[in-house]
Amino acid sequence: MNLIPEPLAFELSSPGRVGVALPKCDVPATPVPAGLLRTELKLPELDELTVVRHFTRLSQKNFSIDTQFYPLGSCTMKYNPKANDAAAAQPGWKGAHPLVGDARNQGAIELVYRLQESLKAIGGFSAVSLQPAAGAHGELAGVFMIRAYHLARGQAGRVKMLIPDSAHGTNPASCTMAGLTTVTIPSDAEGGVDMEALRAACDDTVAGIMITNPSTLGLFERNIEAIARMVHDAGGLVYGDGANMNALTGILRPADVGIDVMHFNLHKTFSTPHGGGGPGVGMVGAAPALAEYLPGPLAVEKDGKFSMATPARSIGRMKAFYGNFAVLVRAYTYIRMLGEEGMKRLAESAVLNANYLKVRLEKHYEVKYPRRCMHEFVAMGDVAEGIRTLDIAKRMIDYGYHPPTIYFPLIVPEALMVEPTETESKETLDAFADAMIKIAEEAKSSPELLHSAPHLTPIGRLDEVAAARCPVLCYRG
């Protein structure tokens, strides 16, 4: 896989070697105060070229979207056009400083305003806030808004949040952090929300429901309108988890089916690379009843002038200044580049690609909820006696593919969650399907090949329990 020759030794340090030439000291030398220098640290001594090669070589051992197909389900790591990075890196945006004030930041605030307007149109919301820095941060904002709404109506007793058992782990976490209690709603035989269980949970202590549609099973929640009605009739509100909107953009506006407040991950669906905790934006959109509770400030326009203003009953700030501004520039560029028609094609291609892969693979990997999927589907990796999903995932690395999300959602045993994304070619999808089918055959004919995979990486199968419980996080030569 890696054609670059490895250095002969791992230890590359050589005493006295340096990578920089410092100018001659032109101030009096002063000794470093005692105790400040950690002499026990054995820092490597290296020349520049060795350091550059070391890190470049390490970077080539990584999977990345720029080198390989990356079908990670639920957390869409899709193609992020380089043009959007170029836009965000323009000196005018990069050098903008929020403290120069609204009057001198008209361009930046106008961009925030226009992006708000585009996202309002995509979601059908009456207002949106671009403050939160992540999906989970947006959820927290949304739950605070729901809580504030009930408190303003004298309904302090509404403390229960209903959460389907297929939900992303961040949903119950955000809800708990906001001081509410979660109640888990089971799924029915079709993978949708169990309507009887929902009915039974709806009482006057319900603050709302947090629902993901398409669900993390990759299925469209067909009862979404009935679910929203049931929760509204009980006096609760509907929170939509829209981290992955790429099955719906330009096709369905969530507010039209009864969602009151929702987050979109601009760093998943709207073209900012994510992972590793990098900067993101969890935009929150709200229906009219909740708009005045949005976190602020938002960009507003009056007579062609732009300024930042905070809604009347805002839950407050979630992030300094305009939020993660470069992410906003990328999202705006992306939306403008695709336009209304492009947004729709994006969703159609995401769904088409996922269904194409599903049909090619389901004869070899069981799909527990086999109806037509949206942007992703959940197969199962127990394809032969003694074979687990982990074995399949590790073997995929030998074929040069980043494994899909595994063991999530929790309600599918041996889950293998595949999301091809809207931008992969048929050739890539076919090559991936061929590899998956070959692995399913290997699982039957030579299972040991899977049990000991991966074979082609610098390090083979890790002891994942030990890695999690007793991590060794730094190398000591």
Ligand X SMILES: *Cc1c(COP(=O)(O)O)cnc(C)c1O
Residue 142 CB partners (closer than 8 Å, separation 6+): 174, 239, 261, 262, 263, 284
* Cα(454)–Cα(62) distance, integer angstroms: 14
Q: Which residue in this structure is represented by tokens 């806030």?
A: 129
Best CA proximity match to 297, nearest among 312, 287, 276, 282: 312
Q: Which residue in this structure is represented by tokens 């999903």?
A: 389
Q: Which of 72, 75, 180, 443 binds ligand X (CB under 6 A)?
A: 75
* Cα(208)–Cα(280) distance, integer angstroms: 26
Amino acid at 167: A
* Cα(83)–Cα(200) distance, integer angstroms: 50
Is 74 an interacting residue with respect to ligand X (CB under 6 A)?
A: yes
Is 134 an interacting residue with respect to ligand X (CB under 6 A)?
A: yes
Scanning 9-17, 134-142, 314-322, 445-453 for contacts with ligand X by CB under 6 A, the matching segment is: 134-142
**Closest CB to ligand X among 243 and 436?**
243
Q: Which of 118, 244, 353, 405 binds ligand X (CB under 6 A)?
A: 244
Q: Which of 116, 166, 187, 212 binds ligand X (CB under 6 A)?
A: 212
**Closest CB to ligand X among 265 and 421?**
265
Is 80 an interacting residue with respect to ligand X (CB under 6 A)?
A: no
* Cα(165)–Cα(172) distance, integer angstroms: 10
> How many amino acids of this chain bind ligand X (CB under 6 A)?
15
Tell me the closest approach of the beta carbon of residue 133 to ligand X, in angstroms.
Answer: 8
Scanning 33-41, 113-121, 131-139, 250-258 for contacts with ligand X by CB under 6 A, the matching segment is: 131-139
Residue nearest to ligand X (CB): 135
Best CA proximity match to 182, nearest among 198, 217, 206, 213: 206
Angle at 246 between CA 88 and CA 380, to 5 degrees: 125
List the structure tokens of 14. 């050589």
**Closest CB to ligand X among 108 and 406?**
406
Scanning 86-94, 128-136, 326-334, 376-384 for contacts with ligand X by CB under 6 A, the matching segment is: 128-136
Q: Which of 241, 260, 376, 419 binds ligand X (CB under 6 A)?
A: 241
Q: How far apart, in Å, are the Cα atoms of 459 and each of 72, 81, 86, 397?
A: 22, 32, 36, 12
Task: Report whether 410 contacts 63 (CB < 8 A).
Answer: no
**Closest CB to ligand X among 284 and 308?**
284
* Cα(120)–Cα(135) distance, integer angstroms: 17
**Closest CB to ligand X among 322 and 408?**
408
Is 333 an interacting residue with respect to ligand X (CB under 6 A)?
A: no
Tell me the closest approach of the beta carbon of residue 238 to ligand X, in angstroms.
Answer: 15
Is 280 an interacting residue with respect to ligand X (CB under 6 A)?
A: yes
The residues pairing with 206 across neighbouring beta strands, listed in sequence order, are 160
Is 433 an interacting residue with respect to ligand X (CB under 6 A)?
A: no
Is 389 an interacting residue with respect to ligand X (CB under 6 A)?
A: no
**Closest CB to ligand X among 330 and 394?**
330
Considering only residues 294-323, where is the footprint of ligand X by CB under 6 A? none
Q: Is the peptide bond before 409 cis (omega within 30 degrees of 0)?
A: yes
Instruction: Give how far the C-alpha of residue 286 lies from the chain's centroid of Cα atoms, to the nearest Å.
Output: 21
Residue ranges in contact with ligand X by CB under 6 A: 74-75, 134-136, 168, 170, 212, 216, 241, 243-244, 265, 280, 282
